[in-house]
């Protein structure tokens, strides 16, 4: 099948594009920088640019049959308008173009945070996306985008939404690098002893799950699925595992979760003040309320529907993933 | 609301509002009934719920034999037919599902609910006649089951005894038909009935209504409460409530008293059929009776349940612990009634009716060996019982067979002379020793049922146990009697020791056991009870919910004695040293000497090795029974043993750990103390004290097997052990089978298995559900000729190819993951193999069906506070087991069950782990 993957220069996007190639598909990618994935045809540009999007889908006259939409603005802070432009309007542009071109399968890569209300989640399925309750601009705009995509599900174009939860692996700059970097500086506290049980997804599993959603779109369309390793672990265990793999000292300071949340709220407000973020070196805020909640409440998921409907199981366990991460750091 | 409110008011019947929760408006109908008695000449209009139309819509032929019968439901005061909405709904649902179809007719009594307000004062006989007029008007045909609550129970029973040809069964919820003379009526009613208070509390205000609705436990939902109030919105609608309270026959001068007496006597006749008539005559079968009870009812408490149980001795009774007056709201009574009807109605008189165990020609009453040793000159003056616990420096107390037999005989005759009869319940709050032995055998001999509750239940548990079993007599020591007095336990109190007059008065004690023996000297003994008569009620440990009373018949207790004697080869010369109460009492029944070592039986850990040696020396016993907690201390105090002590212990040939299986290291430690003894650690429970047994050698063999769990050996004697496989949802739904290697609930059968639980009919049903009809052969075939009793133990495990039983936990501790059910004990044993782990529990967190397994460990050295295990320990623990563990948590100490120091409280731990892993602030479990 001819498939367009957007956002293929990102950590997860690269992996998805590589999995698509490995599955024998003819893969085109759309992002601003070269994807660096062997065997794909890169189209450079933004999903917010309708003409570039139309070109990427139509290609050289042979339109793609499937779209895997990963491109998004992912961040804990930033201009709300940027989030909306990329995450909501970018998705709309892509859906419009896909419909026009007669694309039959559309996989919207979403996030469990679209349905995360800040409370503890234990063994729940993919509850409906809720922009009005989502925490932060990223989650809110991703929730809108998911609803938008699923609303376009039809007999002609099967739309599936998948929500990989906390994707990690060697080469990840979003999570792993930040954790390791901060741990090196002793700046990762555990909230309430780090006991909150959370699901994560090793990058290869996330990629194979997304490809499975494309393959099974005829059976799974119209639904959203959370994708995880299905091995919930305490957040403290995971942080320790990552740090040990990277050869840095695991976090050992515990803060009460309530304090972490309060601090997160304060920092968010400070970061919103003019110049503060810039003076801090343009870095992301060290703690947000959303992050504090993520680190102090359980969120793990019922994977039974996902595995059945997508006919998919993860192949890399957390322990194996950590071994691969350690090997990655050992190579330097 | 001025003067007008006091005048009798009238009002027509009407249909209830159409939007009451749980009430289908299509059930409601109005029925015109020609009046009787004070209504003669007038038609009265009734509102009732009637599911006939609903059944017809469901395709059930309501007339021509399609119905199993009619349930005639009668509410009490101050409720209305709304109380029966669940049974109306569930009966229709059951009929739709192809189960027996019962039509429910639930009346609103006149002046109540949505029936007519006549403004007339209705007495009990009038109300009974009213109900008969109603069923006549309805032309109710076919079998009828009456169902009544509160005063509706009395009225429904009045209808029942007046319609014997139609009556199929009676079911009662918190009601009463008799109030003993001399006992004041319950305070809430006394208050409501007091002149002046009556009208104010019941009619002018909604106080009585509100108080009754507030009794629901858990509380009623606001919309349900509003529905109960709906027909009683104004004072002129509430006249009937006051009328009902005024009609309570507080004493024999009351106008309704004779009718109440007539009903009480009639009820006794319903239950008396078994006793009087030939058992094989269908006509003589007693009317099946069910009582579902909320014992927390401040008015219709256990006293009235006990009175009804005496009148209907065959009744199936279930006490819902914690439920109150509105038991139909508090607990699922509707399915209980319908399931019971399926079992009971049609069963009576039919083939396969409740079969009494056939008379066993080998039955030897427990007291017979005692009598024969006392009657044989060669043995009469030999020692029967030795009590070592006589205090510091005093010599042991020895009682000969002749003395014990005489004592038993005199107390038995004395109790009989006091009026204690077969089937009366006697609660024994006496420490093991010669006095308990004598009282116990005296009670057994006259057929009084002994109630034995362990002090280990704690005051709260003990109170619940004593109140629940409602003894007629309490025989206790000072402490037990003080508790009985202070906590208002029922029963006449007898002191096991002679008390100073003032103390006796203060404790409400009428006699001491010595007085009872004096009274009985030279008095005749009543006829002995038979093997099918109830003998004893033993209480479970209460480690899994409220303690349950377990009823044993004489036949079953004798079988226990026989099995124990045969299995251990006990003869008259063996002699027993027993530090474990139930078996300590079996010595005289085995015809062998028994000695209790010097210990505080309520604190087994006070037993020392020296005390055991002293008891062995004094008795020359060859067998020693000890509880696991006692063994621990005996082993720890072994250093104090003298050369002579060790020599005495070397003469012991059999050692038994009784109470809970113990591990190999502890058995080995005991074996070093008693080098010539074979150590046994049997497996059993209160419901079946001896199921399987294993010796130290067996434990060593089992250690080499690949099985997970604790090996408890092979079934003793004729016992059978089967396994009911767990399904993917963790429920034991498999047909009980001897197939090896299947994880499931352990199902046992034995000649000494319990008869039933006391007043816990639903628990009985659950414990015997889907069990085989007879013995199960090796190939799984069930042999029919001998009906066999079975019991679901609640333990889970498996059988191996050699027929050995392996225990892997309790069914409520099964962790149901997305991959299926998982038993905790096997993984716990693996986790405990990690170096730093002292003890481990494996529990589940998250929702049922998706649970994640979590290990909670005690470490050496102990952790200072609870939390995540460090990465090294986590890795070490994970490496011990194939089971994926979501987390490893450490705690300074695992919570253990109050009664069994060795049993980890997994339920509590699971809740704690759930909170912790949801990200809650760290706390101790």
Span B756-767, pLDDT tens digits: 999 999 999 999
> B316 φ, ψ to 5°?
-90, 125
- The alpha helices in B121-256, defined as continuous H runs, are 124-138, 151-162, 187-193, 197-199, 207-214, 222-229, 239-246
Range B136-149 average pLDDT: 94
pLDDT at B279: 39
The topology (CATH level 3) of B702-752+763-809 is Luciferase; domain 3 (2.30.38)
Range B698-707 average pLDDT: 93
Q: What percentage of chain A exceeds 90 in pLDDT?
A: 58
Range A61-80 average pLDDT: 86
CB contact under 8 A, A233 and B886: yes
Count of A–B CB contacts within 8 Å?
79
Mean of the per-residue pLDDT values of chain B: 88
pLDDT at A278: 52
pLDDT at A264: 59
Q: Does B263 touch chain A (CB under 8 A)?
A: no
Question: Which residue has 């598909």 as its token pair?
Answer: A25
Q: How far apart are CA B894 and CA B861, in angstroms?
A: 14
Burial label, B801 (beta-carbon count in 10 A; 0-12, 13-18, 19+):
exposed
Angle at Cα B192 formed by Cα B2 and Cα B108, nearest 5°? 80
pLDDT at B4: 38
Q: Which helix (H) or strand (E) covers residue B590, if one does?
A: helix B587-590
Q: How far apart are CA B272 and CA A132, in angstroms?
A: 70
pLDDT at B281: 42
Is the CB of residue B925 less than 8 Å from the CB of residue B909?
yes
What residues does B913 pair with on adjacent strands? none
Residue in B with minimal Cα distance to A199: B886
Contacts of B874 in chain A (CB under 8 A): 237
pLDDT at B891: 94
pLDDT at B385: 93
Question: Which residue has 């091995």 as its token pair?
Answer: A231
Residues of chain B with CATH 3.30.300.30: 814-917
Q: How far apart are CA B106 and CA B103, in angstroms?
A: 10
Question: Over the stretch A249-260, which tens digit does the pLDDT of each residue have?
Answer: 887 767 666 666
The answer to whether residue A138 is catalytic is yes
B569-681 architecture in CATH?
3-Layer(aba) Sandwich (3.40)
From A138, A202, A225, A329, active-site residue: A138
Q: Does B916 touch chain A (CB under 8 A)?
A: yes
Contacts of A241 in chain B (CB under 8 A): 871
- 3-state SS, B317-360, equals EEECCCCCCCHHHHCCHHHHHHHHHHHHCCCCCCCCCCCCCCCC
Question: Over the stretch A6-34, which tens digit does the pLDDT of each residue have?
Answer: 999 999 999 999 999 999 999 999 999 99
| Token pair of B637 as six digits | 């105090």
pLDDT at B461: 78
| Token pair of B801 as six digits | 């190819």
Q: Does A210 touch chain B (CB under 8 A)?
A: no
Between A191, A237, A297, which is nearest B868 by CB?
A237
Between A191, A250, A302, which is nearest B871 by CB?
A250
DSSP B100: -
Least confident of A283-287, B183-187, B416-420: A283-287
Q: Which helix (H) or strand (E) covers residue A92, if one does?
A: helix A90-101
pLDDT at B359: 56
Residues 101-130 of A with CB under 8 A from B: 120, 122-123
For domain B3-344, which CATH number applies: 3.40.50.970, 3.40.920.10, 3.30.365.10, 3.40.50.1820? 3.40.50.1820
pLDDT at B274: 43
Beta-strand pair B549-553/B534-539: antiparallel
Residue B40: strand, helix, or coil: coil
Contacts of A191 in chain B (CB under 8 A): 919
Range A156-185 average pLDDT: 88
Nearest to A199 by CA among B852, B875, B909, B911: B852
Instruction: Evaluate if residue B204 carries a pLDDT over 80.
Output: yes
Instruction: Tell me the CATH class for B814-917.
Output: alpha beta
Q: Does B887 touch chain A (CB under 8 A)?
A: yes
Is the CB of residue B894 less than 8 Å from the CB of residue B925?
yes
- The alpha helices in B37-150, defined as continuous H runs, are 52-57, 85-96, 124-138
Q: How far apart are CA B594 and CA B406, in angstroms?
A: 18
Between A195, A237, A302, which is nearest B919 by CB?
A195
Angle at Cα B678 formed by Cα B674 and Cα B682, nearest 5°? 115
Q: Does A257 touch chain B (CB under 8 A)?
A: yes
Q: How far apart are CA A207 and CA A230, in angstroms?
A: 15
Q: Does the predicted interface ipTM exceed a cut of 0.90?
A: no
Q: What is the DSSP string of B448-461?
A: PEEEE--GGGHHHH
With left for phi above 0 and alpha for psi between -120 and 50, is residue B676 left, alpha or beta?
alpha
Instruction: Mutation target for B interface from A248, A255, A298, A305: give the one with most B CBs within 10 A.
Output: A298
> B126 φ, ψ to 5°?
-65, -45
The CA distances from residue B33 to A24, B142, B237, in Å, are 84, 20, 20
B364-381+396-529 architecture in CATH?
3-Layer(aba) Sandwich (3.40)
Between B852, B874, B920, which is nearest A232 by CB?
B852
Contacts of A261 in chain B (CB under 8 A): none
Q: What percentage of chain B exceeds 70 in pLDDT?
A: 90
Nearest to B889 by CA among B869, B875, B871: B869
Residue in B with minimal Cα distance to A191: B919
Instruction: Evaluate if residue B168 carries a pLDDT over 60.
Output: yes
Least confident of A180-194, B56-70, B465-479: A180-194
Instruction: Evaluate if residue B278 carries a pLDDT over 50.
Output: no
- 3-state SS, B819-879, equals CEEECCHHHHHHHCCCCCEEEEEEEEECCCCCCEEEEEEEECCCCCCCEECCHHHHHHHHH
Q: How far apart are CA B116 and CA A154, in angstroms?
A: 61
Q: How far apart are CA B283 and CA A77, in angstroms?
A: 85
| pLDDT top residue among B282 and B635 | B635
Least confident of B58-67, B304-313, B906-915: B58-67
- Using the CB atoms, write b or e for B485-517: b if 16+ within 10 Å: eeeebbbbbbbbeebeeeebeebebebbbbbbb
CB contact under 8 A, A197 and B850: no
Mean of the per-residue pLDDT values of chain A: 87
pLDDT at B395: 86
Residues of chain B with CATH 2.30.38.10: 702-752+763-809
Burial label, B93 (beta-carbon count in 10 A; 0-12, 13-18, 19+):
middle
Beta-strand pair B102-107/B69-74: parallel
Q: Does A303 touch chain B (CB under 8 A)?
A: yes
Burial label, B534 (beta-carbon count in 10 A; 0-12, 13-18, 19+):
buried
Instruction: Evaluate if residue B453 carries a pLDDT over 80.
Output: no
> B321 φ, ψ to 5°?
-55, 130
Range A244-270 average pLDDT: 71
- The alpha helices in B62-123, defined as continuous H runs, are 85-96
Q: Does A233 touch chain B (CB under 8 A)?
A: yes
Is the CB of residue B13 less than 8 Å from the CB of residue B30?
yes
Residues 6 or more apart whose Cβ sits within 8 Å of residue B196: none
Q: How far apart are CA B52 and CA B49, in angstroms?
A: 9
Least confident of A298-302, B5-9, B110-114, B869-873: B5-9
Whether the model pTM is above 0.90 = no
Quickly count: other Cβ atoms within 10 Å of residue A114's Cβ: 27
| Token pair of B661 as six digits | 């299986």
Q: How far apart are CA B238 and CA B908, in angstroms?
A: 48
CB contact under 8 A, A197 and B845: yes
| pLDDT top residue among B429 and A301 | A301
Angle at Cα B37 formed by Cα B31 and Cα B38, nearest 5°? 90
Is the CB of residue B686 less than 8 Å from the CB of residue B538?
yes
Question: Over the stretch B654-676, which tens digit does the pLDDT of each residue have?
Answer: 999 876 667 788 889 999 999 99
Residues of chain B with CATH 3.40.50.980: 569-681
Range B552-564 average pLDDT: 95
Between A192, A250, A302, which is nearest B920 by CB?
A192
Question: Over the stretch B493-504, which tens digit does the pLDDT of each residue have?
Answer: 888 888 888 888
Residues of chain B with CATH 3.40.50.12780: 364-381+396-529
Residue in A with minimal Cα distance to B917: A196
CB contact under 8 A, B918 and A196: yes
Range B408-421 average pLDDT: 95
pLDDT interval class at B460 (50, 70, 90): confident
Q: Which CATH superfamily is domain A2-164+201-228+301-314 in?
A: NAD(P)-binding Rossmann-like Domain (3.40.50.720)
| pLDDT top residue among A292 and B910 | B910
Q: What is the DSSP string of A163-221?
A: EE-SEE-TT-TTTHHHHHHHHHTT--PEEGGG--EE--EEHHHHHHHHHHHHHTHHHHT
Nearest to B354 by CA among B836, B764, B878: B764
Q: How far apart are CA A68 and CA A106, in angstroms?
A: 6
Is the CB of residue B572 less than 8 Å from the CB of residue B622?
no
pLDDT at B270: 87
Q: How far apart are CA A98 and CA A40, in angstroms?
A: 19
- Dihedral of alpha carbons B523, B526, B529, B534, sign: negative
Q: Which helix (H) or strand (E) covers residue B417, if one does?
A: helix B401-418
Residue in B with minimal Cα distance to A256: B921
Least confident of A119-128, B22-31, B49-58, B890-899: B890-899
Angle at Cα A88 formed by Cα A82 and Cα A93, nearest 5°? 110
| pLDDT top residue among B123 and B600 | B123
Instruction: Evaluate if residue B901 carries a pLDDT over 80.
Output: no
Q: How far apart are CA B790 and CA B775, in angstroms?
A: 10
Nearest to A161 by CA among A106, A241, A123, A228: A106
Q: How far apart are CA B502 and CA B482, in angstroms?
A: 13
The answer, yes or no, to whether the previous bond of B861 is cis (omega within 30 of 0) is: yes
pLDDT at A286: 55
| Token pair of B855 as six digits | 């290990």
Distance from CA of A311 to the nearest CA of B (A): 16
> B286 φ, ψ to 5°?
-70, 155
């Amino acid at each position: 099948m001819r498939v367009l993957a957007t956002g293929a220069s990102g950590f997860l996007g690269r992996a998805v594009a590589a999995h698509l190639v490995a599955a024998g598909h003819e893969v085109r990618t759309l992002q601003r920088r070269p994807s660096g994935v062997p065997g794909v045809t890169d189209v450079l540009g933004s999903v917010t640019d309708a003409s570039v999007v139309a070109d990427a889908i139509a290609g050289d006259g042979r339109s793609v049959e499937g779209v895997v939409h990963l491109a998004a603005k992912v961040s804990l802070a930033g201009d709300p308008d940027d989030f909306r432009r990329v995450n909501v309007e970018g998705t709309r542009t892509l859906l419009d173009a896909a419909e026009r071109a007669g694309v039959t399968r559309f996989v919207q890569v979403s996030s469990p945070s679209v349905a995360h209300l800040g409370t503890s989640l234990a063994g729940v399925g993919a509850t409906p996306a809720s922009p009005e309750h989502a925490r932060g601009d990223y989650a809110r705009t991703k929730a809108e985008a998911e609803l938008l995509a699923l609303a376009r599900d039809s007999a002609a174009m099967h739309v599936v939404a998948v929500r990989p939860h906390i994707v990690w692996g060697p080469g990840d700059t979003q999570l792993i690098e930040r954790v390791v970097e901060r741990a090196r500086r002793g700046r990762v506290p555990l909230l309430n002893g780090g006991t909150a049980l959370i699901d994560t997804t090793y990058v290869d599993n996330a990629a194979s799950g997304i490809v499975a959603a494309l393959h099974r779109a005829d059976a799974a369309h119209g639904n959203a699925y959370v994708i995880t390793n299905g091995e919930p672990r305490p957040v403290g265990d995971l942080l320790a595992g990552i740090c040990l793999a990277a050869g840095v000292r695991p976090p050992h300071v515990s803060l009460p979760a309530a304090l972490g949340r309060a601090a997160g709220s304060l920092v968010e407000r400070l970061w919103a003040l003019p110049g503060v973020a810039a003076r801090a070196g343009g870095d992301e805020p060290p703690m947000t309320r959303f992050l504090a909640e993520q680190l102090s409440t359980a969120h793990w998921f019922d994977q039974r529907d996902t595995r059945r409907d997508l006919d998919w199981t993860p192949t890399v366990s957390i322990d194996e993933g950590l071994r691969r991460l350690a090997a990655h750091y050992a190579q330097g | 609301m001025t003067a007008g409110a006091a005048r009798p008011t009238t009002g027509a019947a009407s249909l209830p509002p159409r939007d009451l929760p749980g009430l289908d408006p299509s059930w409601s109908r109005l029925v015109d009934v020609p009046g009787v008695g004070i209504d003669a000449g007038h038609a009265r209009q009734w509102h009732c719920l009637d599911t006939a139309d609903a059944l017809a819509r469901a395709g059930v032929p309501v007339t021509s034999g399609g119905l199993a019968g009619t349930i005639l439901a009668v509410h009490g005061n101050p409720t209305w037919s709304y109380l029966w909405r669940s049974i109306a709904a569930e009966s229709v649902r059951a009929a739709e599902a192809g189960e027996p179809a019962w039509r429910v007719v639930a009346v609103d009594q006149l002046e109540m609910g949505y029936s007519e307000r006549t403004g007339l004062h209705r007495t009990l006989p009038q109300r009974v006649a009213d109900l008969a007029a109603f069923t006549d008007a309805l032309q109710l045909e076919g079998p009828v089951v009456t169902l009544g609550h509160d005063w509706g129970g009395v009225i429904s029973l009045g209808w029942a005894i007046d319609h014997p040809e139609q009556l199929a069964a009676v079911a009662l919820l918190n009601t009463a038909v008799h109030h003993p003379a001399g006992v004041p009526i319950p305070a809430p009613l006394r208050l409501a009935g007091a002149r002046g208070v009556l009208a104010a509390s019941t009619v002018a205000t909604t106080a009585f209504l509100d108080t009754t609705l507030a009794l629901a436990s858990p509380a009623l939902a606001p919309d349900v409460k509003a529905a109960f109030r709906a027909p009683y919105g104004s004072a002129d609608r509430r006249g009937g409530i006051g009328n009902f309270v005024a009609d309570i026959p507080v004493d024999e001068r009351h106008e309704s008293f004779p009718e109440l007496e007539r009903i009480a006597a009639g009820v006794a006749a319903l239950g008396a059929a078994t006793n009087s008539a030939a058992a094989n005559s269908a006509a003589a079968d007693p009317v099946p009776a069910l009582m579902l009870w909320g014992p927390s009812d401040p008015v219709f408490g256990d006293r009235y349940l006990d009175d009804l149980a005496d009148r209907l001795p065959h009744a199936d009774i279930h006490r819902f612990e914690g439920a109150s007056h509105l038991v139909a709201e508090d607990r699922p009574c509707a399915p209980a009634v319908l399931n019971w009807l399926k079992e009971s109605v049609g069963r009576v008189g039919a083939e396969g009716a409740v079969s009494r165990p056939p008379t066993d020609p080998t039955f030897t009453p427990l007291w017979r060996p005692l009598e024969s040793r006392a009657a044989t000159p060669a043995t009469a003056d030999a020692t029967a019982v030795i009590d070592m616990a006589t205090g510091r420096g005093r010599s042991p107390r020895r009682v000969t067979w002749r003395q014990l037999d005489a004592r038993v005989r005199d107390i038995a005759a004395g109790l009989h002379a006091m009026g204690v009869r077969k089937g009366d319940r006697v609660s024994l709050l006496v420490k093991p020793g010669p006095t308990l032995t004598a009282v116990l055998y005296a009670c057994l001999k006259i057929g009084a049922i002994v109630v034995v509750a362990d002090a280990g239940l704690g005051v709260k548990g003990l109170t619940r146990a004593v109140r629940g079993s409602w003894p007629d007599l309490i025989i206790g020591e000072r402490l037990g009697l003080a508790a009985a007095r202070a906590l208002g336990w029922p029963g006449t109190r007898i002191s096991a020791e002679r008390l100073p007059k003032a103390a006796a008065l203060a404790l409400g004690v009428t006699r001491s056991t010595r007085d009872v023996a004096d009274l009985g000297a030279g008095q005749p003994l009543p006829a002995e009870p038979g093997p099918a008569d109830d003998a004893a009620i033993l209480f479970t440990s209460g480690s899994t919910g409220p303690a349950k009373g377990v009823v044993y018949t004489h036949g079953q207790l004798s079988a226990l004695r026989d099995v124990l004697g045969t299995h251990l080869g006990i003869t008259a010369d063996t002699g027993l040293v027993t530090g474990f109460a139930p078996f300590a009492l079996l010595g005289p029944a085995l015809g062998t000497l028994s000695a209790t070592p010097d210990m505080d039986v309520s604190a087994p850990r006070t037993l020392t090795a020296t005390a055991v040696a002293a008891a062995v020396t004094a008795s020359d016993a060859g067998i020693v029974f000890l509880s696991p907690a006692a063994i621990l201390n005996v082993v720890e105090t072994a250093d104090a043993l003298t050369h002579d002590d060790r020599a005495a212990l070397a003469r012991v040939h059999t050692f038994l750990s009784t109470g809970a299986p113990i591990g190999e290291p502890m058995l080995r430690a005991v074996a070093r103390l008693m080098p010539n003894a074979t150590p046994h650690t049997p497996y059993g429970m209160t419901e079946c004290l001896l199921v399987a047994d294993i010796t130290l050698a067996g434990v060593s063999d089992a250690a080499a097997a690949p099985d997970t769990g604790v090996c408890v050996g092979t079934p003793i004697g004729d016992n059978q052990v089967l396994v009911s496989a767990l399904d993917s949802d963790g429920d034991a739904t498999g047909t009980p089978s001897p197939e090896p290697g299947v994880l499931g609930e352990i199902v046992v059968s034995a000649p000494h298995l319990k008869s039933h639980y006391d007043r816990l009919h639903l628990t009985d049903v659950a414990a015997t559900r889907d069990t085989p009809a007879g013995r199960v052969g090796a190939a799984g075939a069930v042999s029919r000729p001998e009906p066999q009793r079975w019991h679901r133990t609640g333990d889970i495990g498996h059988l191996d190819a050699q027929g050995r039983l392996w225990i892997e936990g309790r069914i409520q501790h099964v962790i149901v993951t997305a991959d299926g059910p998982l038993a905790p004990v096997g993984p716990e044993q693996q986790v405990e193999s990690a170096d730093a782990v002292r003890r481990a529990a494996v529990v589940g967190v998250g929702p049922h069906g998706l649970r994640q397994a979590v290990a909670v460990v005690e470490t050496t050295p102990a952790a200072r506070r609870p939390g995540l295990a460090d990465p090294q320990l986590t890795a070490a623990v994970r490496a011990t087991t194939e089971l994926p563990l979501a987390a490893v948590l450490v705690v300074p100490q695992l919570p253990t069950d109050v009664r069994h120091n060795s049993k980890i409280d997994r339920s509590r731990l699971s809740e704690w782990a759930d909170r912790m892993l949801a990200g809650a602030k760290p706390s101790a479990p």
